[in-house]
Amino acid sequence: MSIAENVKDILNKVDVAKATSAYSNQEVQVIAVTKYVDVVKAAQVVEAGIHHLAENRTDLFLEKYEALEDKNITWHFIGNLQRRKVKDVINRVDYFHALDSIKLAKEIEKRATHIIKCFLEVNISGETTKHGFSPKDIDDVLAEISQLNNVEIVGLMTMAPISADDEQLDNIFASMRQLQTEIAAKGIPNIPCTELSMGMSRDYTRAIQQGATFVRIGTAFFE
């Protein structure tokens, strides 16, 4: 299928998932992950109506950010960010999805020229290969991060294991939703935590049904 057809198909599936979600009036922001494709294809997905784009590497982000500057894109950085690269990207992105250490939060605080909307990455499944905070450490992490002026925790982000079956996916996504609502209820300064970034090409409909508000979709747009 063409990129335009993929966009239509994905937006339809998102609507169906929202209609069958456990949560009513759920806003879902669809993000096109352009890390596998060049600037031309990234521009096509924008032409087809998706204005939120994501990259996971500094060099590829900067290349597309500059090439597509006139297209009014909301930019998401979804990858592991090395501390020495923070200064190059952090003031250009609208959302940073992979905040996974206090040291990184402090570097963002130092380099930011305005408040940066961040998602705390959570390793909910406990996979040893995954980045992200363990749920048991979250309270301590939030206490430290709430002291920072330029880091706002808008929500939580996770990546489900490749090996997870449907039932495991539902459990993972539901646990994330529970953790997110618990944190939001605390009303901690700088930590509204109203959003949930979860769901990729293979599992975004299930993630939406469990309360995702941002889905990060790559392959399904461009295959």
Ligand X SMILES: *Cc1c(COP(=O)(O)O)cnc(C)c1O
Q: Interface residues with ligand X (CB under 6 A)? A: 33, 35, 56, 78-79, 159, 200-202, 216-220
155 versus 218: smaller Cβ distance to ligand X: 218
Q: How far is the CB of 143 from ligand X (least distance, A)?
A: 26
**DSSP class per residue in 134-173:** -GGGHHHHHHHHTT-SSEEEEEEE----TT--HHHHHHHH
42 versus 148: smaller Cβ distance to ligand X: 42
Q: How far is the CB of 133 from ligand X (least distance, A)?
A: 15
212 versus 217: smaller Cβ distance to ligand X: 217
17 versus 159: smaller Cβ distance to ligand X: 159
Q: In whole angstroms, how far apart are CA 220 and each of 115, 118, 149, 187, 189?
A: 32, 25, 37, 37, 37
C-alpha angle 73-35-216 in degrees, rounded to nearest 5: 65
Query: Which residues does 201 contact at the CB level (< 8 Å), separation at least 6?
Result: 217, 218, 219, 220
Helix (H, G, I), strand (E, B) or coil at 18: helix
Q: How far is the CB of 147 from ligand X (least distance, A)?
A: 27
Q: How far is the CB of 188 from ligand X (least distance, A)?
A: 25
Q: How far is the CB of 138 from ligand X (least distance, A)?
A: 19
Taking the C-alpha atoms of residue 145 and residue 150, their distance in angstroms, rounded to an integer, is 10
34 versus 180: smaller Cβ distance to ligand X: 34
